């Protein structure tokens, strides 16, 4: 009796061991194949942090949607490699009329959509008209965020007037009023050129569902058709997206014939997948992992920073409405030490609310050098020697501009305590609690937040922060709001100076303390060569090659 | 028996109604909302208000509830605010993954837990018995995410025996008629796909199966210890009944009732999705999706998934109750 029971238990162990051993064999066989034919490798496996929100980039505004869209689609305007500056793409050149209302795009010829239809001026106008004629759900901000924000929405308020195909290779877009940011904005994947035939066939604008429950269209879940180097294959929700090379692509190909985006939400799991050889690369590398990955022979590539991290101050919370107190706080913070302690190597210390590669960056802003004695004096002058202040920071989040909010909070609060400010910490989960506290209520004092730019335009940074009254900052300065609005629509050659002046005005007023522009990192195996790192993430994989 | 089943199914209706009210009140009492989560850093009060109007979140809660209920009665669970896909589709796409993982975890838990518990009881006080106690203690005390992490580190990253994440090698070309990947491979004759899916299940299966294993082993040990000293076992032995029959009919069968209850509860729990295990292994089941929904205040998914999980849980328990009758003829007769 006993013997049999033992045998049973032994059997179970044996079966488990056999399964382990067998799978070991399979795994190593698979590895063997991989390394044996390294030069024949044509599939690039990249770990995304989430599913795309939509395969129709016109209805998307999230980074994961754009990452996929950039492989499938191209816009009229692209980005100069390695910079944030606009460059020709499907439009080889463009002319802008004197009054800034007429844009004539000279299109690249001989370009085909993946469905074998021609890319021409008719297609361009079809796309512009599509955006401008959305109604109902499609026109709502949660879907067409970028069209709403760049063109001011549909109908009367919208800046778009019309588009005309003067010949197959020339499209003329007319605006109702000037929009100097149009060219850089057109480099966003949301303004990609999509196949009119496919858009109609798969009901791209039929945002289904009940009135209060928008549902993705058939096009957006499974039939995106662009002119880009890769065609759409399959989307297994929550798991992966597969793309393959477009044979009639007008441009060149490196080694990547197939792309697999595999969804791995958790940062450590992405790193382990790389180490286990399951993926070729991933984005959003945690700063703490950089050294270990480099040490183990992986490549860590940095994007030029195109973001800003700041310490916000809510002026509805007294005495943050006192400029002396705000200046004292700015003087109390040692930004260099903060960067060394809590941000990745290569991070730029910020002096204003835009990163240095943005065109309206000014060298003449008021700076508040680290000087704790001065901070104490300013507090004394303001009569706030025993200042107690609430400090909100988010948990459970890693943003490109804020990899570890708790570490940043600790460094800053230590500096503030040093000058005699008593800090009360209020940590909250990022989404949706923290965001709601900061953006939707007055119940916050000091807080950490930031922004990653969409395209090279100063308004995209300071306009987002200070373009109108908001609960986050708690001040109402009509003059500032107006000057930013004026700068946004000023003639293009006057813009840079206006934006520089705006940056100087903002830093004089000091609504918050710009802290740093951290560099976002990506990690790859040694095999991956020529990954096109871009500050605005305009990274298309057709240029990648593999080594042995 | 049939009456029991019908009764229990009817009971589900008030249960689900009550649950839907509670859920509705709960998700709307949470701070923040889908609009903030959708807009991220870009949220302005106006944008938030526009989105709330779009989704109808600005209407009085009771109006929203009755709208929700009337759609629910037509089988419409709403659309995820985060993914823009119907909640029911999201559930049905991911549930097969959770079922597969549950099956593997259960095979590990039952296949090892029952024999271990049985042997421990039959050899009470032996080294094996003591080690089984230690093993089951470790099983229930080691946090799942830690175990999952260690398993992955050792067997996927260091040794490379198993894949580190996912349900199947993403570069593998495979057809999925049912979304049960192992089954799909067998049905379509894509043996390598079936094997690959199975290999992907082993580490998460072990991580997830450990706690049920420990519980099943302890339960079995307790039940067998009690039954083997019962009068009828002694009598049977005295009558000279063959040891195989004594073990099978008298000891094992009689001790299985409490073990079965335990297993039933565990199945219910496992099918509710394993948030931690699924997250660590990037395994696309319902647990990790529900967790994401909570982080994004995705009201329709939170409501829909919890309701569906409740239905599954109730049905599993019903199945367990029915199976009592099959194991214990006395219960069958009473009914």
DSSP notation for A247-266: TT-SS---S-SEEEEEE--S
Q: Do A65 and A55 meet the contact criterion of CB atoms below 8 Å apart?
A: yes
B43, B160, B243 member nearest A27 (Cβ):
B160
Chain B, nearest residue to A243 by Cα:
B171
Q: How many Å separate Cα A332 from the centre of its chain?
A: 31
Q: How confident is the model at residue A29 (pLDDT cuts 50, 70, 90)?
A: very low
Distance to chain B for A238, nearest Cα, Å: 6
Query: Do A264 and A48 form a contact (C-beta atoms < 8 A)?
Result: yes
What residues in A contact B35, CB-CB < 8 Å? 142
**Contact between B45 and A470 using a beta-carbon 8 Å cutoff:** yes
Q: Which of B298, B82, B48 is nearest to A60 (CA)?
A: B82
Query: Which residues 143-182 of B are in CB contact (within 8 Å) with A?
Result: 149, 152-153, 155-157, 159-171, 176
Cβ-based contacts of A221 with chain B (< 8 Å): 85
User: Which residues in chain A are closer than 8 Å to B161, comparing Cβ atoms?
Assistant: 20, 23-24, 27-28
A-chain CB neighbours of B251 within 8 Å are none
pLDDT at A123 over 90: yes
CB distance A19–B167 less than 8 Å? no
Q: Smallest CA–CA separation between B60 and chain A, in Å?
A: 14
CB pair distance less than 8 Å for A439 and B36: yes
Name the DSSP letter for residue B167.
S
Task: Give residue B90's pLDDT.
Answer: 92
B99: left (phi over 0), alpha (psi -120 to 50) or beta: alpha
Distance CA B312, CA B271 (A): 8
For residue A146, give the H/E element and its range: helix A145-151
Distance from CA of B3 to the nearest CA of A (A): 39
CB A33 within 8 A of CB B168: no
pTM for this entry: 0.86
B193: number of Cβ within 10 Å: 22
Q: Please, are residues A310 and A296 in contact by the beta-carbon 8 Å criterion? A: no
Q: Which two tokens stand for residue A226?
A: 């662009």
Give the pLDDT of residue B138. Answer: 83
Q: Which residues of A fall within a CB distance of 8 Å from B40?
A: 431, 435
For an interface test with A, the pick among B29, B33, B44, B194 (most A C-beta atoms closer than 10 Å) comes out as B44
pLDDT-based confidence at residue A211 (cuts at 50, 70, 90): low
pLDDT score of B125: 81
**B323, B311, B212: which is closest to B263 by C-alpha?**
B212
Question: CB-CB: which of B79, B115, B281 is closest to A12?
Answer: B115
| β-strand pairing of A388-395 with A446-452 | parallel
To the nearest whole angstrom, how far is the Cα of A29 from the nearest Cα of chain B?
Answer: 10
The pLDDT of residue A6 is: 37
Q: How far is CA B124 from CA A6, A182, A322, B128, B229, in A?
A: 14, 80, 76, 8, 12
Greater confidence (A63 vs A107) lies with A107
Query: Which residues 25-44 of B are in CB contact (within 8 Å) with A?
Result: 30-44
CA-wise closest residue to B38 among A503, A435, A361, A380: A435
Q: How many residues does chain B have?
A: 335
Reading the block at residue B201, the tokens are 């299940």
Sign of CA dihedral A480, A483, A485, A488: negative
| A59: pLDDT strictly greater than 60 | yes
Which among B33, B86, B122 is the nearest to A2, CB-wise? B122
Q: How far is A120 from chain B (nearest CA, A)?
A: 31
Average pLDDT over residues A253-267: 93
Residues of A in contact with B43 (CB under 8 A): 435, 439-440
Query: What are the C-alpha distances in Å from A219 to residues A71, A195, A207, A215, A447?
Result: 16, 11, 10, 11, 40
Partners of B296 on chain A (C-beta within 8 Å) are 431-432
Q: How many C-beta atoms lie closer than 10 Å to residue A63's C-beta?
A: 18
Residue A223's pLDDT band (cuts 50, 70, 90): very high
Task: Specify the DSSP class assigned to residue B154.
Answer: I
- Which tokens is A367 given? 């700076």
CB contact under 8 A, B119 and A5: yes
* Interface with B, mutate which of A261, A439, A459 (most B CBs under 10 A): A439
- Shortest distance, CA B300 to any CA of chain A (angstroms): 9
Is the CB of B297 inside 8 Å of chain A's CB atoms? yes
Q: Given its phi and psi angles, is residue A279 left (phi above 0), alpha (psi -120 to 50 degrees) or beta?
A: beta
Q: Partners of A24 in the beta sheet?
A: none
pLDDT of A14: 38
Residue A237, beta-bridge partner list: none
Cα B58 to chain centroid, rounded: 35
- What's chain B's Rg over C-alpha atoms? 24
Three-state secondary structure call for residue B33: coil
Asked if residues A334 and A415 have their Cβ atoms less than 8 Å apart, the reply is yes
Helix %, strand %, coil % for chain A, to 5? 40, 20, 40
Q: Give helix A405-418 / helix A335-342 axis angle, nearest 10°.
A: 150
Chain B CB contacts of A140 under 8 Å are: 50-51, 54
Distance from CA of B117 to the nearest CA of A (A): 10
Q: Are B98 and B273 in contact (CB under 8 A)?
A: yes
Contact A433 B32 (CB under 8 A): yes
Tell me which residue has tokens 């029959």: B245
Report cis status (omega within 30 of 0) of the bond before B58.
no
Contact B157 A276 (CB under 8 A): yes
Whole-number pLDDT of residue B264: 85
Q: What angle do CA B189, B191, B197 make, to 5 degrees?
A: 120
C-alpha torsion angle, residues A106, A107, A110, A116 (rounded to 10): -150
B318 close to B8: Cβ distance less than 8 angstroms = yes
* Average pLDDT across chain A, whole number: 88
CB contact at 8 A, A255 and A119: no
Interface of A with B in 382-441 (CB under 8 A): 396, 429, 431-433, 435-437, 439-440
Residue A313 structure tokens: 């101050």
Write down the pLDDT at residue A210: 62
Residues in chain A, overall count: 548
The DSSP H or E segment spanning A452 is strand A446-452
- Residue in B closest to A267 by C-alpha: B280
pLDDT along chain B (335 residues), means of 10: 81 88 85 77 78 83 87 86 89 93 93 89 84 83 87 91 90 87 90 92 92 90 86 83 77 83 85 84 90 86 90 86 76 61
Residues 312-331 of B with CB under 8 A from A: none
Of A2, A141, A239, the CB nearest to B284: A239
| Mean pLDDT, residues A288-304 taken together | 92
- Residues of chain B contacting A429 with CB distance shorter than 8 Å: 295
Average pLDDT on A295-322 reads 93
Over the range A371-396, which residues count as b (16 or more CB within 10 Å of their CB) and which as e? Answer: bbebbbebbeebebeebebbbbbbee
Residues A362-366: contacts with CB under 8 Å, at least 24 apart? A362/A499, A362/A500, A362/A501, A362/A503, A362/A504, A364/A500, A364/A504, A365/A503, A365/A504, A365/A506, A365/A507, A365/A508, A366/A504, A366/A507, A366/A508, A366/A510
Query: Cα–Cα distance between A301 and A303 in angstroms, integer?
Result: 7
Residue A517: strand, helix, or coil = strand
User: ipTM, 2 decimals?
Assistant: 0.85
Q: Which residue has the higher pLDDT, B189 or A531?
A: A531
A27 contacts in chain B (CB < 8 Å):
160-163, 199
- Alpha-carbon Rg for chain A in angstroms: 26
**Shortest CA distance from B93: residue in chain A:** A237
Full 3-state SS string of A19-55: HHHHHHHHHHHHHHHHHHCHHHCCEEEEEECCCCCCC
- Mutate which: B108, B166, B283, vs A, most A CBs within 10 A: B166
Closest CA relative to residue A483, chosen from A313, A317, A360, A307: A360
Terminal-to-terminal C-alpha distance of chain A = 59
Q: Do B165 and A272 touch (CB under 8 A)?
A: yes
Map tokens 């703490």 to a residue. Answer: A288
Residue ranges of alpha helices (H) inside A163-296 are: 182-185, 196-201, 218-222, 267-275, 290-295
* Per-residue tokens: A360: 């309206």
Pairing of strands A521-524, A299-302: antiparallel
Q: Where are the alpha helices (DSSP H) in chain B?
A: 2-29, 34-39, 45-55, 61-73, 87-122, 127-141, 144-151, 181-188, 191-228, 231-238, 243-245, 253-271, 275-280, 286-295, 299-327, 329-334
Helices (H) and strands (E) in chain A, counts: 17, 21
B30 CB neighbours in chain A (<8 A) are 432
Residue of A nearest to B58 (CA): A212
Chain B contacts in chain A segment 341-370 (CB below 8 A): none
Between chain A and chain B, how many beta carbons pairs sit less than 8 Å apart?
211
B-chain residue closest to A136, CA distance? B54
CB contact under 8 A, A470 and B118: no
Do residue B166 and residue A240 have CB atoms under 8 angstroms apart?
A: yes
Q: At what angle do helices B2-29 and B61-73 cross, to 10 degrees?
A: 150
Task: Report which secondary-structure segment, H or E, holds A373.
Answer: helix A372-381
Asked if A238's CB is within 8 angstroms of B199's CB, the reply is no
Burial category of B191 from C-beta neighbours within 10 Å (exposed 0-12, middle 13-18, buried 19 and up): exposed
């Amino acid at each position: 009796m006993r013997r049999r029971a033992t045998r049973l238990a032994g059997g179970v162990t044996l079966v488990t061991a056999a399964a382990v051993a067998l799978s070991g064999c399979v795994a190593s066989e698979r590895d063997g194949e991989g390394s044996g034919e390294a030069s024949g490798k044509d599939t690039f496996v990249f770990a995304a942090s989430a599913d795309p929100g939509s395969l129709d980039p016109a209805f998307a505004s999230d980074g994961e949607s754009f990452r996929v869209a950039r492989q499938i689609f191209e816009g009229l305007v692209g980005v100069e490699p390695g910079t944030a500056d606009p460059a020709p793409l499907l439009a080889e050149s463009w002319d802008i009329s004197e009054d800034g209302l007429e844009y004539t795009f000279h299109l690249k010829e001989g370009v085909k959509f993946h469905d074998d239809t021609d890319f021409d001026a008719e297609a361009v106008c079809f796309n512009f008209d599509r955006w401008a004629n959305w109604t109902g759900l499609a026109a709502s901000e949660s879907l067409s965020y970028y069209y709403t924000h760049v063109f001011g929405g549909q109908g009367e308020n919208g800046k778009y007037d019309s588009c005309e195909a003067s010949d197959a290779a020339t499209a003329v877009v007319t605006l109702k009023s000037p929009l100097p940011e149009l060219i850089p904005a057109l480099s966003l994947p949301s303004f990609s050129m999509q196949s009119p035939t496919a858009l109609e066939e798969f009901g791209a604008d039929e945002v289904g569902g009940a009135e209060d429950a928008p549902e993705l269209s058939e096009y957006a879940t499974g039939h995106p058709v662009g002119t880009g180097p890769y065609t759409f294959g399959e989307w297994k929700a929550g798991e992966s997206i597969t793309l393959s090379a477009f044979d009639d692509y007008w441009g060149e190909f490196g080694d990547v014939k197939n792309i697999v985006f595999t969804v791995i939400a958790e940062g450590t799991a992405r790193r382990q997948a790389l180490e286990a050889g399951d993926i070729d690369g991933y984005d959003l590398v945690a700063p703490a992992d950089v050294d270990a990955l480099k040490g183990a022979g992986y490549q860590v590539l940095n994007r030029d920073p195109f973001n800003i991290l700041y310490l916000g101050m809510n002026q509805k919370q007294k005495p943050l409405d006192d400029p002396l107190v705000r200046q004292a706080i700015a003087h109390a913070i040692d930004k260099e030490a903060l960067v060394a302690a809590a941000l990745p190597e290569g991070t730029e210390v910020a002096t204003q609310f835009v990163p240095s590669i943005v065109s309206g960056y000014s060298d003449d802003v008021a700076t508040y050098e680290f000087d704790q004695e001065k901070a104490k004096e300013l507090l004394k002058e303001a009569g706030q020697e025993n200042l107690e202040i609430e400090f909100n920071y988010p948990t459970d989040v890693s943003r490109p501009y804020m990899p570890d909010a708790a570490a940043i909070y600790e460094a800053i609060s230590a500096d503030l305590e040093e000058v005699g400010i008593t800090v009360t910490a209020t940590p909250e989960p990022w989404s949706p609690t923290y965001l709601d506290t900061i953006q939707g209520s007055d119940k916050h004092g000091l807080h950490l937040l930031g922004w990653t730019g969409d395209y090279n335009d100063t308004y995209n940074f300071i306009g987002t922060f200070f373009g109108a009254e908001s609960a986050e900052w708690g001040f109402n300065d009509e003059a500032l709001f107006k000057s930013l609005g004026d700068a946004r629509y000023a003639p293009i050659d006057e813009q840079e100076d206006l934006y520089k002046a705006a940056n100087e005005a903002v830093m004089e007023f000091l609504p918050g303390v710009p802290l740093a522009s951290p560099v976002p990192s990506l990690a790859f195996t040694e095999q991956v060569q020529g990954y096109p790192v871009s500050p605005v993430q305009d990274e298309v994989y057709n240029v990648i090659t593999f080594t042995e | 028996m049939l009456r029991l089943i019908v009764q229990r199914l009817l009971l589900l209706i008030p249960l689900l109604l009550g649950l839907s009210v509670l859920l509705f009140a709960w998700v709307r009492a949470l701070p923040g909302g889908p609009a903030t989560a959708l807009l991220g850093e870009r949220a302005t009060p106006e944008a938030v208000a526009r989105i709330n109007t779009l989704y109808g979140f600005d209407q009085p809660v009771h109006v929203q509830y009755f709208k929700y209920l009337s759609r629910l009665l037509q089988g419409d669970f709403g659309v995820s605010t985060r993914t823009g896909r119907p909640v029911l589709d999201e559930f049905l796409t991911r549930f097969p993954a959770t079922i597969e993982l549950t099956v593997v975890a259960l095979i590990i838990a039952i296949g090892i837990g029952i024999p271990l518990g049985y042997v421990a009881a039959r050899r009470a006080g032996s080294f094996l018995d003591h080690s089984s106690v230690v093993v089951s203690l470790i099983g229930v005390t080691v946090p799942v995410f830690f175990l999952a992490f260690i398993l992955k580190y050792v067997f996927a990253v260091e040794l490379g025996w198993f894949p580190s994440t996912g349900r199947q090698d993403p570069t593998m070309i495979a057809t999925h008629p049912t979304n049960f990947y192992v089954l799909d491979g067998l049905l379509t004759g894509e043996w390598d796909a079936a094997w690959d899916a199975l290999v992907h299940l082993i580490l998460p299966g072990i991580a997830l199966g450990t706690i049920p294993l420990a519980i099943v082993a302890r339960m079995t040990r307790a039940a067998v210890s009690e039954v083997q000293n019962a009068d009828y076992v002694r009598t049977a032995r005295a009558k000279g009944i063959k040891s195989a029959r004594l073990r099978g009919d008298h000891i094992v069968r009689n001790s299985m009732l409490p073990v079965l209850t335990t297993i039933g509860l565990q199945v219910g729990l496992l099918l509710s999705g394993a948030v931690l295990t699924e997250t660590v292994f990037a395994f696309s089941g319902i647990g990790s999706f529900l967790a994401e929904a909570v982080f994004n205040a995705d009201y329709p998914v939170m409501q829909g998934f919890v309701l569906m999980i409740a239905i599954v849980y109730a049905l599993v328990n019903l199945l367990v109750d029915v199976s009592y009758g099959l194991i214990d003829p006395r219960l069958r007769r009473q009914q």
